[in-house]
Amino acid sequence: MKGLRGFLDRIEPHFSEGGRFARLAPVYEMVDTIFYAPGTATTTAPHVRDSIDMKRSMFTVIVALMPALLFGVYNTGYQAAPDAGFALNMLAGVQALLPLLLVSYLVGGLWELLFAIVRKHEINEGFLVTGLLLPMTLPPDIPLWMVAAGISFAVVIGKEVTGGTGYNIFNPALVGRAFIFFAYPGEMSGDAVWFLGDSVTAATPLAVASAVQGADAAELVSSAGYSLLDMSLGLVPGPLAGTSAIAALLGALVLAFSGIGNWRIMAGGLAGMVFAALLCNAMAPFSQNSMLSLSPLHHLVMGGFAFGIVFMATDPVSASQTDRGRWIYGMLIGVLIVLIRVLNQAFVEGVMLAILLGNAFAPMIDYFVLRRNIARRKKAYARQ
């Protein structure tokens, strides 16, 4: 490592102000800080000194995503050829994932570099997560040019136009996914969006549950061969790495214990989902809507609920910032996911829209929480 340190020190003048490659200073800073801690520190208040910086926060999120990613790679190959064996399934999954990942990081990284050069600031580490999250939420067979368009929209419109990392109103990865969904719905929705190559086509469990009005959705899902165990493990058609509730739970433990993802948002989302699902169950006998009969357990393991509530809703920038606000924010998203799934038969996977709506309401939730706290303190002060 001493050799690398010496090499970086020797070339640093070329990237400093007045050097031949001064415009590429963000690239040098990115490489240098990947291997070494920055040599600068804040000297004036206000500031917080902590061992967890942006890079370590993003690295922790990536570690938390690994169980979902690795299982998604296996499931991608498993859905194409269930009898092929573990090794061949992993190989098929890697072949599907790598092109999406390379395009996402390459195209998104170029946009990050361009904005860093124009604005003369560092390349933000938040892109490491955005560039990974977007491919994980897409079908494995999606055309690569759509991935390029989606990650461009995520970085430019979802983040940079509002000021960059730390200033985004909405989760950038979800903004990119929403762009692909609404611009090219044929590739993202329908009864048979899953296929790897030309050999396998299957509807997702949520599409099966909403296919026949007046029927019991749980029985429809079971008849299609999707058991609760399979849906919990994630051995069902769906996004490349967003089907496993158990893998999401492992990621939730990493995020909650490290403090990177707030557990109140996850718990609030779960509580909101259970409340809304039970309310729908009570109305099921009076309606022909099959989705009303889905139990809270089905909502938990079907679609991208677990993945979204753990990795998307907990985005520390676009989520609520107060503890009470995080409970409200999480519950709002949980309720909206169920309502969108039940009421919108054309879009039964409501996670993306629910979290984006939650992002939109997060500042207002915090505003009213703070105003209520201020009013309570004023009353307590007046009584003294």
List pLDDT tens digits, range 59-101. Answer: 899 999 999 999 999 999 898 888 888 999 999 999 999 999 9
Q: How many CB atoms lie within 10 A of CB 72?
A: 27
pLDDT at 29: 77
pLDDT at 191: 52
CB 94 within 8 A of CB 78: no
Closest CA to 247 of 235, 256, 234: 234
Among 190-204, 235-249, 315-329, name the one with the lowest average pLDDT: 190-204
Mean pLDDT for the stretch of residues 296-314: 93
Q: Is the pLDDT of residue 162 over 70?
A: yes
Q: Is the pLDDT of residue 198 over 60?
A: no
Mean pLDDT for the stretch of residues 335-362: 89
CB 106 within 8 A of CB 208: no
Q: Is the peptide bond before 46 cis (omega within 30 degrees of 0)?
A: yes
Terminal CA-CA length for the chain: 62
pLDDT at 206: 85
State the Cα–Cα distance between residues 382 and 376, nearest whole angstrom.
10
Residue 51's pLDDT band (boundaries 50, 70, 90)? low
* 276-300 exposure pattern, b = at least 16 Cβ within 10 A, e = fewer: bbeebeeebeeeebbbbbbebebbb
DSSP three-state, residue 202: strand
Mean pLDDT for the stretch of residues 27-49: 73
pLDDT at 27: 78
Q: What is the DSSP letter of 123?
A: P
- Proportion of the chain in helix, strand, coil states, percent, rounded to 5: 70, 0, 30
State the Cα–Cα distance between residues 211 and 217, nearest whole angstrom.
9
Closest CA to 127 of 99, 168, 71: 168
pLDDT at 203: 74
Q: Is the pLDDT of residue 169 over 80?
A: yes
Q: Is the pLDDT of residue 2 over 80?
A: no
Q: Is the pLDDT of residue 36 over 80?
A: no
State the Cα–Cα distance between residues 235 and 89, nearest whole angstrom.
12
pTM for this prediction: 0.87
pLDDT at 314: 94
Q: Where are the alpha helices (DSSP H) in 120-164?
A: 126-136, 144-156
Q: Which of the pair, 315 or 24, is modelled with greater confidence?
A: 315
Question: What is the chain's length?
Answer: 384
